Structure 1
Amino acid sequence: MAQVKSHALSEVLDELENSATGDTTAVSEVIDAMGRRSFASIMLIFSLVSSSPVSAIPGMTAFVGTVIFFIVIQMLAGRNSLWLPQFITRRTISTEKLRKAITWLRKPVRSVERFLKSRLTFLFHRPYIWLPLLLIMALTLCMPFLEFIPGSGSIASIVIALFAAGLLTRDGALVIVSLVALLAVPLAIWQIGF
């Protein structure tokens, strides 16, 4: 059975860090650094950043939900290269905040990497991949409303990050974990909000 690169997720963070130059970093710079064909890497980056302390920035959860929605729609359509509208690609974030988020993310990412391997890869083929993609898309539609419940946006982003990590590393078991976690999201948000 083929093994994934043991540091695949850390390498994505490295690429993100390399793209973070100047006082601010634009979404277009991040996407160009990841490569427009790497849907999984781009999805992982945005969901990881949104699950870090950066998620406290007003509008960040809704923005990331919008980005992931566009990614999923194009994956369902079978596109080979990602396109995002200018109102997304022109958006910038403080490079200092982005680098702090990357530093914060490295430890949990390293912990997850130890358990990743290529398995249950049939889940990444049609029609099986459609179910998780549709569920993630439904979650992104809820994310703007999660802005009003502190911490709930991070929970949703973690679920998406788990799915993206599974997609990137061809680990079907992690995709299943993300779907189980997705089912728990409403309960977790209920507990936080009430």
Structure 2
Amino acid sequence: MSDDHALSDVLDRLEAALGDGDISVQDVIETLGARSFASVMLLFSLIAVSPASTIPGVTTSVAMVTFLVAAQMMIGRRHLWLPALITRRQLPAAKLARSIKWLRRPIGFVERHLKARLTFLLQPPWLYLPLVLVMFLSALMPMMEFIPASGSLAAAVIALFAAGWLTRDGALVGAAVLVLLGIPALIWSLGLPG
């Protein structure tokens, strides 16, 4: 996957796998590859940002996937594992196709500004901080499903981290960390549980 178009490539691969009916989470993972931790995290967080987030339970499903992906990245697993409860979940292909179309323009804009830089931030021990923050935010996301747009905002921040990881852009990862650090303060100021 070329770094210049890594984000679009994720959308291309999912779009090519879509049929007329539903697609399972397992099919999505197989399409992206079991070693593609960042691709899986990016795609699922983008789904929660897109119009597909209106599907009941999507934010919670995305939260579970991103939490497990981040946890497995932390421990250095080589192949992604998700429980059958998640992998059997069916996603409507028609809504995913509309979401992919909706995401093309913002993804294209972001891609034009990303490049490999500050790559030391993508190595341990620096990498552990954003992964812990992604896990923390993912744990809060199921509650956010009841607060309009908050789950999508959280998923957008996770997508920033995944995009930075996928394109080897440590500057974007660093920016995502700053935003992630601000989210607990925002939650506290709003008086939300957590």
TM above 0.5, yes or no, is: yes
The answer as to 2:113 corresponding to 1:115 is yes
The answer as to 2:129 corresponding to 1:153 is no
- Structure 2 counterpart of 1:43: 41
Report the Cα offset of residue 177 of structure 1.
Answer: 1.3
* Distance in 1 between residues matched to 2:84 and 2:21, nearest whole Å: 20
* Distance in 1 between residues matched to 2:179 and 2:155, nearest whole Å: 11
Partner amino acid, structure 1, of 2:5? H
- Structure 2 counterpart of 1:72: 70
Percent identity for Structure 1 against Structure 2:
52
- Structure 2 counterpart of 1:57: 55
Change (3 A) 1:143 1:13: same
- Structure 1 counterpart of 2:21: 23
Give the unaligned 5+ runs of structure 2: none
* Distance in 2 between residues matched to 1:58 and 1:29, nearest whole Å: 20
Q: CA RMSD in A?
A: 1.6
Give the unaligned 5+ runs of structure 1: none
* Mapping of residues 1-194 of structure 1, within 5 Å: 5-186=3-184, 187=186
Secondary structure of the residue that 1:116 maps to in structure 2?
A: coil
8 Å Cα contact 1:152/1:189 also seen in 2: no
* Distance in 2 between residues matched to 1:65 and 1:189, nearest whole Å: 20
Q: TM-score, normalised by structure 2?
A: 0.93
Q: TM-score, normalised by structure 1?
A: 0.93
8 Å Cα contact 1:166/1:173 also seen in 2: yes
**4+ aligned runs moved over 6 Å, structure 1:** 188-191
8 Å Cα contact 1:34/1:41 also seen in 2: yes
Secondary structure of the residue that 1:93 maps to in structure 2?
A: strand
8 Å Cα contact 1:44/1:164 also seen in 2: yes
Report the Cα offset of residue 181 of structure 1.
Answer: 2.0
Report the Cα offset of residue 189 of structure 1.
Answer: 9.5
